[in-house]
Amino acid sequence: MTNSSIKIVFLTSSSPQEKIRKLIQTANQHLIEKKILYILTQSPDVTNFVDNLLWQYPKEGFIPHTTELIKPHYIFINSDNSFPPQIYSFFNLTTAPMHPPATSCKIFEFDESNMRDKKEIFEKKYKFYQDCGYHLISL
């Protein structure tokens, strides 16, 4: 039985550059649509890396964002997994599967099944989401 109110979107990538591009595209799309996106990171160091990345890209500008949960930003980057209730879209950059904080949400994950050093992490996440009955999408 599928819980279609929780969608897990696996984004395939074949290189670190493609991962960066897909992360930026996802953040930019949320900004354009005025939808909140919480980018969950593994640590404060990764938060700083993604923070700097979004100030530099896209080349023609930057993506307004914050590392603190304050309005009026649409893009949040943090390693804290206690989420405010108004957030329904997440980008999980951690090594663990994400427990959806709401009964309806979308979680973006990287499909790293083609990378030898990350295949086991991907398989663990995929199995967790599949066992939970979430709607799995691969792009």
Parent domain of 11: 3-138
Number of domains in the chain: 1
Average pLDDT, the chain: 88
Q: Convert 70-100 to b/e letters by CB count within 10 Å (16 or more is b).
A: eeebbbbbbbeeebeeebbbbbbbbeebbeb
- Per-residue pLDDT, averaged over 2-27, amounts to 89
CATH number at residue 51: 3.40.50.10110
Contact 24, 54 (CB under 8 A): yes
Helix axes 44-56, 16-32, angle to 10 degrees: 70
Structure token pair of residue 16: 């670190």
Q: How far apart are CA 117 and CA 107, in angstroms?
A: 22
pLDDT score of 50 more than 90: yes
> Which tens digit of pLDDT belongs to each residue from 87-112?
889 999 999 999 888 788 999 999 98
